[in-house]
Structure 1
Amino acid sequence: MSLDLIRNGVAAAARKAGRDPAGITLIAVSKMQPEARVLPVLQAGQRVFGENRVQEAQSRWGALAPRFDGVRIHVIGPLQTNKARAAMEIAHAIHSLDRPKLAETLARLAQERGACPELFVQVNTGRESQKAGVLPDEADGFVARCRELDLPVAGLMCIPPAGEDPAPHFDMLREMAARNGLAGLSMGMSGDYETAIAHGATHVRVGSAIFGARD
């Protein structure tokens, strides 16, 4: 199945880069996919899934996750502050921390709950006006602010501009993470995950290459 091809591709890219494949988390992006496509991937042993919308994650995984041990949900899409509580209840990681108001909301909820998902700061490496994310020259200050709020920032995330060589964006993110003492790099999707791994990705978000094109 396609999942096996991607797993093999991740392992091969890691070995080529002189890295341990075990250090790379494959996130199967199940957003907008029917259960008929998600079930075989679960049955093949995949346990980490990415969802864009909190509501979709709740409706799908509230029923599905209890049937399989060890399912971990990563929220990878833009997160509205009014959905933050729900996101924290279902997500093991949030990859789209991108503004002070969201950071403050997550910090307050983390205090209330006594727990918080792993967090990745989204950086808009291409400075695209239509895209979410902290601008590159504001990222260091934003990471520092998140740490002041005692948020568990694990790393950085980016989505390079479509049609551009992603490598410089991955390099920028890696250098930014190193400068801030962050180990996590959420970067690389179906079309460029091998390049991302070569440039240090620890989490790759692969959807269509596993599930096929969304209907």
Structure 2
Amino acid sequence: MNSVEERLAAVRTHIDSICRECGRNPEEVRLIAVSKTKPASLVRQAVEAGQADIGESYVQEFLDKSADPELRDLEVNWHFIGHLQSNKIKYIIDRVCMVHSIDKLSTAKELSKRARAKELTVDYLLEINTSGESTKFGISPQELLDTAPSFFDLPSIRLRGLMTIASPDPRKAPGEFKLLRNLLEKLRSIAPDPSTVTELSMGMSGDFEEAIRAGSTMVRIGTAIFGSR
């Protein structure tokens, strides 16, 4: 079995290749290595191989892992990418560099409240349900367009872009990625400062190639780096 370092190198090479195929600069795509359910020892291997951006999906697992002695001496940029309840925000607010998964205005308001109390400015993304599946979290595309000004008005947090989890159907995913890219352009058209609203967090181990072709700026890859769960 290949090591984390070898799998990470292979993923980076693949990202570079896809970028060059579609005329993009590989530096435009940020790799988030998703360590959900994996031990801190594997995260350490990834960070020591140069992978500073690490994504986690569960609050308690994130808290345990980020405090693990295995990682204490390392610089890690933690991204929270899972569903986030308002009552859990207080536990992560000062420990992450970005929250990818705000899926309602009430949660954004709580994020703003907690950030303001800590005198922080927190970057976040809005999760959009591009597939229309009832089992998925996320704001609908129409709701995003209707409520976007309310998100921009919140203090101490910065809306940096959008996130989605595409349908597992490979025939549908490209259209959903394109939809998110189009929504970002509409969001930028009403943003107070469009230059800060640039991120598209889309694409995972099974579909990141199509996501990059559609304009993804962040791909969240776990299995291809850390192995199957």
Per the shorter chain, which TM-score range? over 0.9
Matches within 5 A, 1:9-48: 9-48=14-53
Percent identity between matched residues is 34
Under a length normalisation based on structure 2, what TM-score does the superposition of the two structures give?
0.89
Question: What residue is the counterpart of 1:127 in the other structure?
Answer: 132
C-alpha displacement of 1:118: 1.3
Q: Which amino acid aligns with 1:135?
A: S
- From 74, 79, 85, the counterpart of 1:68: 74
Structure 1 unmatched runs, 5+: none
Find out whether 1:190 has 2:205 as its counterpart: yes
Question: What residue is the counterpart of 2:167 in the other structure?
Answer: 161
C-alpha displacement of 1:41: 1.3
Contact 1:98 1:134 in 2 (8 A): yes
C-alpha displacement of 1:48: 0.4
Matches within 5 A, 1:41-56: 41-56=46-61
Q: How much is the aligned-residue C-alpha RMSD, in angstroms?
A: 1.3
Structure 2 unmatched runs, 5+: 1-5, 189-196
Contact 1:186 1:201 in 2 (8 A): yes
C-alpha displacement of 1:38: 2.3
Contact 2:44 2:71 in 1 (8 A): no
Per-residue Cα deviation, 1:18-37 (whole angstroms, up to 9, x for no partner): 11111111000001112333
Secondary structure at the aligned position of 1:90 is classed as coil
Question: What residue is the counterpart of 2:194 in the other structure?
Answer: none
Q: Which amino acid aligns with 2:187?
A: N
Find out whether 1:173 has 2:173 as its counterpart: no
Secondary structure at the aligned position of 1:180 is classed as helix
* Structure 2: distance between partners of 1:94 and 1:119: 5
C-alpha displacement of 1:43: 1.7
Contact 2:59 2:88 in 1 (8 A): yes
* Structure 2: distance between partners of 1:93 and 1:139: 19
Give the total of aligned pairs. 213
Secondary structure at the aligned position of 1:83 is classed as helix
* Structure 2: distance between partners of 1:141 and 1:175: 15
Under a length normalisation based on structure 1, what TM-score does the superposition of the two structures give?
0.94
Per-residue Cα deviation, 1:114-152 (whole angstroms, up to 9, x for no partner): 213210000001111111000111112333211011330
Per-residue Cα deviation, 1:33-82 (whole angstroms, up to 9, x for no partner): 1233322212211110000012111111123443113x100000000111
Contact 2:7 2:225 in 1 (8 A): yes
- From 113, 133, 136, the counterpart of 1:108: 113
Q: Which amino acid aligns with 1:212?
A: G
Q: Which amino acid aligns with 1:207?
A: G
* Structure 1: distance between partners of 2:181 and 2:88: 29
Find out whether 1:98 has 2:103 as its counterpart: yes
